[in-house]
Chains A and B, each alone.
Chain A
Amino acid sequence: MTAVLIYSERDELAHDLLAWAASRREELGERVAAVLGRDATARAESYRSFGAARIFFDEGEALAALLDDVVAQALADIVDRTEISVVLLGATRRGRSLAPRLAQLLDAGCVSEAVEIEIESGRVVTGRYSLGGNTIAREVIRTPIQVIGVAPGTVERATAGPTAGEMVAYEPGFGPSRATIVARRNKPAMETNITESERLVCVGRGLASEEDLPLVKDLAAALGGELACTRPLSYEYGWLPEDRMIGISGQKCSPKLLMSVGVSGQVQHTVGIQGAKTIVAINTEQGAPIFKLADYAIVGDLYQVVPRLAARLRARGDS
């Protein structure tokens, strides 16, 4: 009898993965979950409604800070005690950092951030971005234990079901990490979560000056959406806060509609927009890489196109 171990420091991600694994119980077997760190005992209770058969929990001192080295050790321990063949982790930044460390301890192959996951002929097949987001590498892990980080939003949102599952207190046989947390600071409260917006306008270096921001803000407003940007506008120029930045070091977004304005389309950015359902690109350079990703392209000056487009969208709303 095989089993699957599920862990994420973000409970809702773990719930989603549990529910996904439960719907593939024939291939994956029993669901085991681990809940570690602050308030783990109370949090673990919620896992019982998402199909976990056994839930290991611990909120002791060694694991309280959730540092990678000790969390990996705890999870490796739990894998050793049970018949785990697949470990599913939420691929948050913590999860991405944890997954390879755990894999190394288990002598296991690892996919750290799967954006696709399915089961084919009894084997877990994952897809992840490769070559700077140009391609998707579809892989099968061949080691006896497979460690897979699953990107948020890859599997369906779970809904709570009947409550079951056995609670098991986990007692780590090791002390805290040599590393310590000095401080945790929330990032400045997000004005808005662009990853949840259905319509986005993303502006890039084609915008000549900070004073021109109202132009693109107006287009976002006309669409009933939010304004996002590429890295230079946020990190380098400071025109927009980092929580609006899309790309490898920013947010990954999957809106219904993304209007890309004055963005050349370097891979570090486009990785963050692959999930958009429809992409409109407006750029002066016909050869800009962004056009390859676009459903609809307007080759033209954003200063000409954007105000007219915004006006037309508004007129549409009024009629």
Chain B
Amino acid sequence: MRIIVCVKEVIDLAQVRFKSDGRIPVLDGLPVRLGAFEKNALEEAVRIKERLGDVEVLALSAGSGKLKESIKEALAIGADRAVLVQDTALDGAGAERIARALALAIERIGEWDLCLLGEGSDDEYTGQTPSRLAAILEVPQITNVRQLEIGPDGRVQGTRDLEQELEIVACQTPVVVSVTSELNTPRLPPLTAILKAGRKPVEVWTLADLGIEAEAIGSDAAQVELRSNLAPVGSRKNRILEGELEAQIDELIRSLEHDGALS
């Protein structure tokens, strides 16, 4: 069985700062890391391998960035090998372009059974890549999965976490599955695993290797035009109450009454 885990490198969101106007985010030079949902997907793949034995876990990522550091983390968690689609034409690529690059890479990888992704990414959380990828590969998708089983017949069974209900969906492979953070608690790889990760095979492909001209992958702007990406207008009062605690509580209650926030 081959499990492909698609992973995304994300910026450390806790370190996003804003320009002095408080609205324009400054993203230059922020550290990147493996996304949190991706760790759940990797952890699950590794657990399946530990259960079933004859499983290859392949980590796949596409982008223009460094990728290597985050892929090392994926290999340390337990992926057997990695494929990176690295191309400047994928700079700032959104879900549509990334899904096409991933699909081409998956076709080149060859036979596969299960493709795992996070239900969304830490940064944009639009959740488009799993569904777009499944559509391109023309396979069913099981999204928002919080529990995953592989039956003795190789059938994949995922429990979808919907608002009011849990929906258990079964599907013969190949199938694309997106996972939630409730699925498992990803392991912290021990030092030996981190050292070993450096020796695992990592292939780097360009778009040309996948048989597609850089221009043919297009630009995000052709699909969606970003007009602005700003922090909401300073709508919060940000008033830090001062003085003795009782005085603070007095002022708080007065202010809330004034705002009509209390009954």
Chain A residues within CB distance 8 Å of chain B: 67-69, 72, 92-94, 96-101, 103-105, 108-113, 125, 128-132, 134-143, 177-187, 198-199, 223-224, 231, 235, 248-249, 256-257, 266-268, 271, 274, 277-280, 289, 291-300, 304-305, 308-309, 312-313, 316
Q: Report if B167 contacts A (CB, 8 A).
A: yes
Contacts of A134 in B (CB 8 A): 13, 16, 25, 231
Contacts of A296 in B (CB 8 A): 237, 239, 241, 252, 255-256
Interface hit among B53-61, B75-83, B138-146: B138-146
The 4 closest A-B pairs by CB, nearest first: A109-B223, A104-B135, A100-B128, A179-B171
Q: Are B236 and A101 in contact (CB under 8 A)?
A: no
Q: Report if B122 contacts A (CB, 8 A).
A: yes
Q: A184 contacts which of B95, B168, B231, B261 (Cβ < 8 Å)?
A: B168
Q: Are A309 and B238 in contact (CB under 8 A)?
A: no
Contacts A179-B171, A184-B166, A184-B168: A130 and B222 contacting too (C-beta < 8 A)?
Answer: no
Q: How far is the CB of A296 from chain B (nearest CB, A)?
A: 5
Number of A-B residue pairs, CB cutoff 8 Å, is 245
Q: Are A130 and B123 in contact (CB under 8 A)?
A: yes
Q: Report if B216 contacts A (CB, 8 A).
A: no
Q: Report if B208 contacts A (CB, 8 A).
A: no
Q: Report if B88 contacts A (CB, 8 A).
A: no
Docked Cα-Cα span, A100 to B169, in Å, equals 19
Q: Report if B221 contacts A (CB, 8 A).
A: yes
Per-position binary interface string of chain B over residues 76-114, scored 1 when its CB falls under 8 Å from any chain A CB and 0 otherwise: 000000000000000000011001000000000000000
Classify the secondary structure of A's interface with B.
Answer: mixed
Q: B224 contacts which of A96, A142, A178, A305 (Cβ < 8 Å)?
A: A142
Q: B245 contacts which of A98, A186, A305 (Cβ < 8 Å)?
A: A305
Q: Are B225 and A295 in contact (CB under 8 A)?
A: no
Contacts of B163 in A (CB 8 A): 92-93
Contacts of A125 in B (CB 8 A): 227
Q: How many residues of B contact A (CB 8 A)?
A: 80
Contacts of A248 in B (CB 8 A): 120, 125
Docked Cα-Cα span, A93 to B169, in Å, equals 15
Q: Report if B180 contacts A (CB, 8 A).
A: yes
Q: Are A256 and B261 in contact (CB under 8 A)?
A: yes
Q: B259 contacts which of A249, A278, A289 (Cβ < 8 Å)?
A: A278
Contacts A103-B132, A125-B227, A138-B229: A298 and B241 contacting too (C-beta < 8 A)?
Answer: yes
Q: Are A136 and B127 in contact (CB under 8 A)?
A: no
Docked Cα-Cα span, A227 to B181, in Å, equals 23
User: Which residue of chain B has the shortest Cβ distance to A309 in the bound complex?
Assistant: B249
Contacts of B157 in A (CB 8 A): 182
Task: Enumerate 15 A-B pairs (CB-CB under 8 Å) in ascending A order.
Answer: A68-B134, A69-B140, A93-B144, A110-B128, A131-B16, A132-B13, A132-B122, A134-B231, A249-B180, A291-B240, A294-B238, A297-B241, A299-B240, A304-B245, A312-B250
Contacts of B125 in A (CB 8 A): 129, 132, 248, 271
Docked Cα-Cα span, A190 to B171, in Å, equals 30
Q: B182 contacts which of A249, A277, A304 (Cβ < 8 Å)?
A: A249
Contacts of A99 in B (CB 8 A): 128, 131
Q: B222 contacts which of A129, A142, A256, A298 (Cβ < 8 Å)?
A: A142
Q: A104 contacts which of B124, B132, B221, B224 (Cβ < 8 Å)?
A: B132
Among B128, B165, B223, B262: residue with most chain A CB under 10 A: B128
Docked Cα-Cα span, A135 to B232, in Å, equals 6
Q: Are A97 and B238 in contact (CB under 8 A)?
A: no
Contacts of B99 in A (CB 8 A): 104
Q: B252 contacts which of A139, A142, A298 (Cβ < 8 Å)?
A: A298
Contacts of B13 in A (CB 8 A): 131-132, 134, 267
Q: A109 contacts which of B96, B180, B261 (Cβ < 8 Å)?
A: B96
Contacts of A138 in B (CB 8 A): 226-229
Q: Are A179 and B227 in contact (CB under 8 A)?
A: no
Q: Are A97 and B228 in contact (CB under 8 A)?
A: no
Contacts of B141 in A (CB 8 A): 68-69, 97, 101, 179
Q: Are A100 and B252 in contact (CB under 8 A)?
A: no
With A72-B135, A179-B175 known, 9 other A-B pairs at CB within 8 A are A93-B161, A131-B27, A140-B225, A181-B167, A278-B256, A291-B240, A295-B236, A308-B249, A316-B253
Q: B140 contacts which of A67, A135, A185, A289 (Cβ < 8 Å)?
A: A67
Per-position binary interface string of chain B over residues 1-31, scored 1 when its CB falls under 8 Å from any chain A CB and 0 otherwise: 0000000000001101000000001010000
Contacts A256-B261, A297-B241: A182 and B169 contacting too (C-beta < 8 A)?
Answer: yes
Q: Are B238 and A135 in contact (CB under 8 A)?
A: no
Q: Are A297 and B239 in contact (CB under 8 A)?
A: yes
Q: Are B236 and A305 in contact (CB under 8 A)?
A: no
Q: Are B144 and A184 in contact (CB under 8 A)?
A: no
Contacts of A140 in B (CB 8 A): 224-225, 227
Q: Report if B136 contacts A (CB, 8 A).
A: yes
Docked Cα-Cα span, A185 to B127, in Å, equals 24
Q: Are B134 and A69 in contact (CB under 8 A)?
A: yes
Q: A266 contacts which of B14, B129, B131, B166 (Cβ < 8 Å)?
A: B14
Q: Are B123 and A132 in contact (CB under 8 A)?
A: yes
